Structure 1
Amino acid sequence: MGSTLATAPGSLPWVGHAVAIVRDRFRFLRSLPDHGDLVWIRIGPWKALVVTTDALSAQVLRDDRTFDKGGPLYDRIRETGGNGLASCPYDDHRRQRRLVQPCFQADRIPGYVPVMRRQAVQMVDSWREGSPVDVLVDMRVMAARTALATMFSGAPTDSVLDTLVKEVDTVLSGIVRRALMPEWLAGFPTPGNRSYRRAQARTRETVAGLVAGYRRQESDRGDLMSALVATRDPENGNKGLCKSELQDQVLTFLVAGTETTASTLSWALHLVAQHPHVDAQLYEEAAKFLGREGDACADPARLVVARNVVLETLRLYPPLPMLTRVTTRETELGGHTVPQGTTVIFSPYTVQHRPGLYADPEAFLPERWADCAPGFRPPRGPFVAFGGGARKCIGDTFALTHATLALSSIAARWRLHALTDRTPKPATSMTMSPSRLRLLPEKRHPLTVPVHGPPAGR
């Protein structure tokens, strides 16, 4: 029997379902499986077919030749990120993947751990007890510093970093806004479009300067940029990445590594603040393996509770809740013919909240990952926060290691208290970052009694 095909109700003239998405993206995405396995939606000027099951999502992700990167969202991403690994079409992807893969090999990840740890400790050292923390802002700065410090051994100055964080935030907000616009309006000199183009130009200019300065150094410093400059493709005349390709990859890593990690950590801290027994277990683990002051060479593989909290956060709040593909030929999906040129959306948020795939899917239960394989390989199955197939996120292990270590570093020093019982709304951005999340830090006291409560990761 074929999959059910339907059109989501509530489409409005001109804007389609954009109002429902902006008003409550969570509710809209969770409602789609109620209408069918394949659901037509309309967002502004474009129409898309959303796959709402894990099986159909797997088909889309596996066949990247038929379901190629494309659609209004990727058109906007390419305006800034160029033809980087995350946004390039099928014809370019295999070569780029071969060239970039050495940067993220397992034997290089331990070399990045001290950088991740130092940046996390530097952030938590800046907090003051009783002074509310603007969580997403601090997580962005920490994630950007980590991304840049792992890419470039000589990290940029604070002024350059602050500028990059601000400009990247403007670009990410503009990507979503412009994806919803008709083409003629996207080119119109509105204040929003002008600020977007300024931020886009400044970001590319700053990254171009960093790459140009770095290419003059030929030694391997053990960082990402060294690996990118040195990598060669034996299937293409042993050629490496040219200057513009290096810039595109750096922009891709910077934007992806900053915003997705910041979003994940922000939601994780919100969830932990709402669940004191998980917070206590995080602290117990951090006190055991990191200590009060921490160790720059800490082994993140021991941080099982923190890893499971991060995995459960990624299930509940995947940073990229919906991503587009475009069919390169007429194909069949769920027993239905899909014409060439159709925009198809797969939604990690929708799949990972679908009833039947997880027990109590709306609950925050880190212990559901207790039997996950050791280390930092993301699980298989209906977990699609990192995508899947040949285009699965190349930095998934890097990102999971970073988020786990940062979360544990925070838990070792601070307990964060919620200022409200309400769940933050997602910001209007490409990622599902929480909007206006502020938490109150309380200094930890030395652990003197056993921790009790439901297990979070053991």
Structure 2
Amino acid sequence: MPTHVFPAARFTAATAPGGLPLLGHAPAFARRPLAFVAGLPAHGDLVRLRLGPLDAYVACHPELVRRLLAEDRTYDKGGLVLDRAREVLGDGLATCPAAAHRRQRRMLQPAFHRDRLPGYAAMMAEEIAGTTASWRDGDTIDVPAAMYRLTTAVTARCLFAAHERAGSLPVHESMDVITRGVGRRVMMPLPGVDRIPTPGNRRFRRARQDLREITERLIADYRAVGTDHGDLLSMLLGARDEDGQGLSDAEIHDHVVTFLLAGMETTAATLSWAWTLLAANPSVRARLHTELDTVLDGRPARHEDLPALPLTARIVSETLRLYPPVWILSRTVTTATELGGHRVPAGATILFSPYLLHRRADLFPCPDRFDPDRWLTTARPAPGTYAPFGLGARRCIGETFGTTEAALAIATIAARWTITPTPGRPVRPTRSSSLSPRPFTAALARRSR
């Protein structure tokens, strides 16, 4: 784990080479986004891009990322990526401006208090076991689709436990269309593209409306009953600020959609990548099986098992390092300032990428290697070097929720199954704002301890 202390120094700035007339760097960014972004540190610590008519800066150095995320009023939520996400998430906790964030964070923090986590984990464990109960030895599954179904069931159950069939609520299809739509809009940031009446744009708008109708109906049902069901929606309805005011239905809707997106898409991506990494590293998988056989003895994992599963936790951390689900984010500069000794105008978009940071060889030796044991040290990474959940005041409120779900799923599934991707078909990431793998198949083999 990196423990760098970065000295005070003037950071380098440059404009990325290879921009095209009118389009700038947009085609290169859209065609090979991960490789394009990962190559930017070679040009400077703060790199300027032209994305069509838009100018953007990419913070490539961890110290600049730390400053960017620590000064959340100067570098507010907004810009290329966040403005697109706000089309769906509204002013939920992940996308609201700094002026609204502190009130919302204080109101929502009790929903993620550690005392409530065992209750959520019990729901997670039930849904994980139930979703995988239909698997059979020798079956072939579409791994991302299977993980998406699993995380959909878990997230819906933890959000809407009072609904008699929470895990089967029709949110899967809508969220899938919405996620892909946001990703396309981020990767092709040209004005007006999203307003063209293409089939994809029509599906996006219809899915967004369907999701709004589902959440509005659930909010109305919960308000009518007025009972705390121990789930996230009950906590949202019961949240109060310092003046005793609750959240409006519109605010609750935005938070529900934010939790759905974070709980379904990001955790499904993490689990999907984990199975490919374990299959490619049989020695790590064998050690994982030994840990699980010793602790679980064939039963599903529970919340109280997690302290005894350190390798499982390190596998989650290392998967998030290699494939951070939210791999690129943006901020808007609210007032002219300097970053790393370089002037940045008000209104500018600044991008930062956890994927870029996590693949820097000066921060993580052999950065492309899957090595869960790099996390054995007790030292914490220097701020700005490891950021799958962000940093500072805007750090993801659901970090522990998400890592708990991932650890329980990996432990329960790997204790009973070996998942082997189909040979000869490399697993590739999607070209999207979410670092999910493209559909791939894998064979299931039941394990005998």
Give the alignment's TM-score, normalised by structure 2. 0.93
Identity of aligned residues (%): 43
- Name the residue aligned to 1:171: 178
- Name the residue aligned to 1:33: 41
Listed as ranges, the matches of 1:173-252 within 5 Å are 173-179=180-186, 180-234=188-242, 237-252=243-258
Please give the alpha-carbon distance, in whole angstroms, between the structure 2 residues aligned to 1:330 and 1:342. Answer: 9
- Cα displacement (A) at 1:378: 9.7
8 Å Cα contact 2:13-2:46 kept in structure 1: yes
- Name the residue aligned to 2:297: 291
Helix, strand or coil at the partner of 1:363: coil
Any unmatched runs of 5+ in structure 1? 447-458
Question: 1:132-184: per-residue Cα shift (whole Å, max 9, x none)?
Answer: 221111111111111111111134647953x3111111111111223424333
Q: Does 2:385 match 1:382?
A: yes
The AA in structure 2 aligned to 1:136 is P
- Name the residue aligned to 1:415: 418
Question: 1:197-228: per-residue Cα shift (whole Å, max 9, x none)?
Answer: 01111111111112211122322222212222
8 Å Cα contact 1:148-1:155 kept in structure 2: no
Cα pair distance change 1:39/1:23, threshold 3 Å: same
- Cα displacement (A) at 1:41: 2.0
Cα pair distance change 1:422/1:53, threshold 3 Å: farther
Cα pair distance change 1:211/1:273, threshold 3 Å: same
Please give the alpha-carbon distance, in whole angstroms, between the structure 2 residues aligned to 1:34 and 1:182. Answer: 26
Helix, strand or coil at the partner of 1:77: helix
Please give the alpha-carbon distance, in whole angstroms, between the structure 2 residues aligned to 1:171 and 1:144. Answer: 14
Which stretch shifts more, 127-136 or 33-42?
A: 127-136
The AA in structure 1 aligned to 2:254 is D
- Name the residue aligned to 1:301: 307
Q: Does 2:92 match 1:95?
A: no
Aligned with residue 357 of structure 2, among 331, 339, 351: 351
Aligned with residue 125 of structure 1, among 112, 124, 133: 133
8 Å Cα contact 2:330-2:350 kept in structure 1: yes
8 Å Cα contact 1:124-1:413 kept in structure 2: no
8 Å Cα contact 1:45-1:181 kept in structure 2: no
Cα pair distance change 1:157/1:16, threshold 3 Å: farther
- Name the residue aligned to 2:5: none
Please give the alpha-carbon distance, in whole angstroms, between the structure 2 residues aligned to 1:29 and 1:182. Answer: 18
Please give the alpha-carbon distance, in whole angstroms, between the structure 1 residues aligned to 2:381 and 2:205. Answer: 36
Please give the alpha-carbon distance, in whole angstroms, between the structure 1 residues aligned to 2:251 and 2:378. Answer: 36
The AA in structure 2 aligned to 1:259 is E
Please give the alpha-carbon distance, in whole angstroms, between the structure 1 residues aligned to 2:367 and 2:290. Answer: 27
- Name the residue aligned to 1:397: 400
Report how many residues are paired. 440
Q: Does 2:91 match 1:83?
A: yes
Which stretch shifts more, 122-131 or 290-299?
A: 290-299
Please give the alpha-carbon distance, in whole angstroms, between the structure 2 residues aligned to 1:342 and 1:362. Answer: 32
Point out 4+ residue stretches in structure 1 off by more than 4 angstroms: 295-298, 377-381
Helix, strand or coil at the partner of 2:219: helix
Please give the alpha-carbon distance, in whole angstroms, between the structure 2 residues aligned to 1:160 and 1:444. Answer: 29
Helix, strand or coil at the partner of 1:176: helix
8 Å Cα contact 2:153-2:167 kept in structure 1: no
Please give the alpha-carbon distance, in whole angstroms, between the structure 2 residues aligned to 1:197 and 1:350. Answer: 32
Please give the alpha-carbon distance, in whole angstroms, between the structure 1 residues aligned to 2:134 and 2:49. Answer: 45
The AA in structure 1 aligned to 2:330 is T
- Cα displacement (A) at 1:27: 1.7
Aligned with residue 82 of structure 2, among 74, 82, 85: 74
The AA in structure 1 aligned to 2:417 is W
8 Å Cα contact 2:269-2:436 kept in structure 1: yes
Helix, strand or coil at the partner of 1:16: coil
The AA in structure 2 aligned to 1:349 is Y
Cα pair distance change 1:263/1:159, threshold 3 Å: closer
8 Å Cα contact 1:282-1:306 kept in structure 2: yes
Helix, strand or coil at the partner of 1:265: helix
Cα pair distance change 1:45/1:130, threshold 3 Å: farther
Aligned with residue 370 of structure 1, among 366, 371, 376: 376
Please give the alpha-carbon distance, in whole angstroms, between the structure 2 residues aligned to 1:435 and 1:22. Answer: 16
- Name the residue aligned to 1:146: 154
Helix, strand or coil at the partner of 2:39: helix
Listed as ranges, the matches of 1:429-440 within 5 Å are 429-440=432-443
- Cα displacement (A) at 1:19: 3.2
Please give the alpha-carbon distance, in whole angstroms, between the structure 2 residues aligned to 1:158 and 1:112. Answer: 14
8 Å Cα contact 2:154-2:167 kept in structure 1: no
- Name the residue aligned to 2:4: none
Please give the alpha-carbon distance, in whole angstroms, between the structure 2 residues aligned to 1:231 and 1:133. Answer: 41
The AA in structure 2 aligned to 1:313 is T
Please give the alpha-carbon distance, in whole angstroms, between the structure 1 residues aligned to 2:357 and 2:279. Answer: 26
Please give the alpha-carbon distance, in whole angstroms, between the structure 1 residues aligned to 2:69 and 2:305. Answer: 33
The AA in structure 1 aligned to 2:412 is S
- Name the residue aligned to 1:106: 114
The AA in structure 1 aligned to 2:104 is Q
The AA in structure 2 aligned to 1:178 is R
Please give the alpha-carbon distance, in whole angstroms, between the structure 1 residues aligned to 2:33 and 2:426. Answer: 13
The AA in structure 2 aligned to 1:428 is R
Any unmatched runs of 5+ in structure 2? 1-8
Cα pair distance change 1:122/1:271, threshold 3 Å: same
- Cα displacement (A) at 1:397: 0.8
Give the alignment's TM-score, normalised by structure 1. 0.91
Cα pair distance change 1:295/1:71, threshold 3 Å: closer
The AA in structure 1 aligned to 2:270 is T
Q: Does 2:342 match 1:336?
A: yes
Q: Does 2:51 match 1:48?
A: no
The AA in structure 2 aligned to 1:335 is G
Cα pair distance change 1:160/1:378, threshold 3 Å: farther
